[in-house]
């Protein structure tokens, strides 16, 4: 699925987060062995085995019925169950974020994907047209088509920003997870991810329109192909700026 090409780096990041916390996980395992009781361990083993088998059943059903989303999401209960069975519930709790992070690999059904991307494509074209009109550019908007100085720019699926939005959410979640700070600070940063990613995509589309208008469609197409970094910089710099501002308030 084109809009889910970001999924290739979700698993490596999840594994890196587990490796990053290896010291804390080793301490938890040592403490669990010292204070654990036989009934508690047996309960954890049964709970883990139940979750593991449930995940396998979900995978088999999704695979037989050709439900990609269901067969992919089965990875979550399978991993939780296997972790609880082998290492205990304390380790599974510590690994909750890296495991749940894998949910970002799950592609939404095509019908839901269309319902999300079509409105995003429409509104990005509306906002782009309004902003460029404010600066007296000769732009008109008709549905998903923008006409600017004799050039027609169609807001295709990549222009919706959905792929970039999911990619930036994936990176933003890791940033918020690894930084130090109170829960309120992290909640504010989490709430900033989507607006910053949408703002980055809007700036990207406006930039593409301006490059096309001033330098032609060939240069505009090249800019479109390499302009993903705009959203990345807006998100990362925005999160770092908000993080720095909130850190100042914490120390005052």
Please, what are the averages of pLDDT over each run of 10 residues along the chain (252 residues)?
60 90 79 54 81 93 84 91 88 91 78 70 87 89 83 70 73 84 83 83 85 80 68 79 80 59
Query: 202, 201, 204, 185: which is closest to 242 by C-alpha?
Result: 185
Catalytic annotation, residues = 159, 204
Report pLDDT for 227.
66
Report pLDDT for 176.
85
CA distance 126 to 129: 5
Alpha-helical segments (H) within the chain: 10-20, 22-35, 38-64, 68-73, 75-87, 89-94, 96-100, 110-134, 162-178, 183-215, 217-226, 228-251
Report pLDDT for 168.
76
CA distance 53 to 57: 6
Report pLDDT for 38.
47
């Amino acid at each position: 699925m084109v809009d889910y090409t970001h999924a290739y780096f979700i698993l490596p990041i999840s594994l890196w987060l587990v490796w990053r916390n290896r010291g804390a996980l080793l301490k938890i395992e040592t403490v669990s062995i010292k204070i654990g009781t036989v009934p508690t361990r047996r309960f954890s083993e049964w709970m883990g085995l139940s979750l593991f088998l449930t995940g396998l059943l979900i995978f088999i059903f999704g695979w037989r019925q050709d439900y990609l989303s269901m067969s992919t999401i089965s990875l979550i209960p399978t991993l939780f169950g296997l972790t609880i069975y082998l290492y205990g519930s304390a380790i599974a709790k510590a690994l909750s974020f890296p495991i749940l992070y894998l949910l970002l690999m799950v592609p939404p059904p095509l019908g839901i994907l269309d319902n999300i991307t079509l409105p995003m494509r429409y509104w990005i074209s509306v906002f782009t047209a309004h902003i460029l009109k404010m600066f007296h550019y000769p732009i008109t908007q008709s549905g998903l088509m923008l006409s600017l100085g004799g050039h027609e720019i169609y807001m295709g699926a990549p222009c919706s920003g959905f792929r970039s939005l999911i990619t930036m959410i994936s990176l933003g979640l890791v940033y918020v997870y690894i930084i130090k700070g109170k829960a309120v600070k992290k909640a504010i940063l989490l709430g900033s991810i989507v607006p910053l990613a949408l703002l980055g995509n809007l700036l990207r589309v406006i930039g593409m329109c301006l490059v096309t208008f001033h330098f032609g469609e060939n240069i505009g197409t090249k800019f479109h192909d390499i302009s993903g970094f705009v959203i990345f910089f807006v998100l990362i710099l925005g999160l770092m700026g908000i993080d720095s501002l909130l850190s100042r308030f914490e120390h005052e």
